[in-house]
Every structure is written in C-alpha cells, then in structure tokens.
Amino acid sequence: MAAPGGRYVYVIDDDKGVLDSTAFLLSALGYDCVSFAEAGAFLDAAEALAPGCVLTDLRMPRIDGFELAGALRERGIRWPIVMITSEAGSHVDRRAGRLGFAALLHKPIDADLLADLLTQAFAAFER
C-alpha cells in the first residue's frame, strides 16, 4: 500500500548500499525520502526540513542513533524516530524506549514490517 504524498522520511545511514536500497524501498512505498550519509548533516538541515519521520541506523561514526535522537529532542524536534540496528539485546531496547523511539527495527530490514512501523509512527505523530 502506498503512502500519501507529503510524508517525509529522513534516512540516516553511513552505509551507502543500505542508504540507497532503503531510499528506493521508501520511494516505492510512496514516501518522500531524503537521505543523509551522516547524522551531523541531517542535524545541520533538520530545522529547515518539513516535519517527517526519521529512520536512522544505530551505529554510525561521530554521532550514533542514540545521540541523534538526543540532539533532536534538545532542539525541540519531536518527530517519530525508527532506529535500525543489527544489535540485539535488552540494553538497546531499554535505551531506545527511554529516548522515545517510535520503533526499533532489526537488520536485515523487512519491507512489510518497515511499512507497518512507518504507518504507525505517522499515525501517532499526526494525532
């Protein structure tokens, strides 16, 4: 099912292959996708961007997904954040919960699950 236009998803991942394939998938699902190869570039642009959902990798150089979420919250940006990770463990789940992530998605990305999570994240955000 395609998403209505005007729903922005900001993808942040330092792995170009993952970034490109995720952007392709999101575009096929009907989302307006904007990609960033690092969290710092996204943070520099965030205040000028239209509200949307953030889809970020956990492990990245310089600023990881947890630090990115904290920086967004400090700036008053309360967009839903879905974190992608290959790490498993309750410590990741607990920290993601404390930081208010909309969802945690484990790699490899399941397209149907991603679509469902984004639908839920936008529904909660738009209420």
Residue 116: Cβ within 10 Å count: 13
Domains located in the chain, CATH noted: 8-126 (3.40.50.2300)
The pTM score is 0.89
Q: How far apart are CA 117 and CA 103, in angstroms?
A: 7
Q: Identify the helix (H) or strand (E) that includes residue 38.
A: none
pLDDT band at 70 (very low <50, low <70, confident <90, very high): very high
Is pLDDT above 90 for 41?
yes
Over pLDDT 70: what percentage of the chain? 91
Helices assigned H by DSSP within the chain: 16-28, 39-46, 65-74, 90-98, 111-126
Q: Is 57 exposed, middle or buried (0-12, 13-18, 19+ CB in 10 A)?
A: buried
Q: Is 1 exposed, middle or buried (0-12, 13-18, 19+ CB in 10 A)?
A: exposed
Q: What is the mean pLDDT of residues 29-33?
A: 93
pLDDT tens for 1-14 read: 455 567 999 999 99
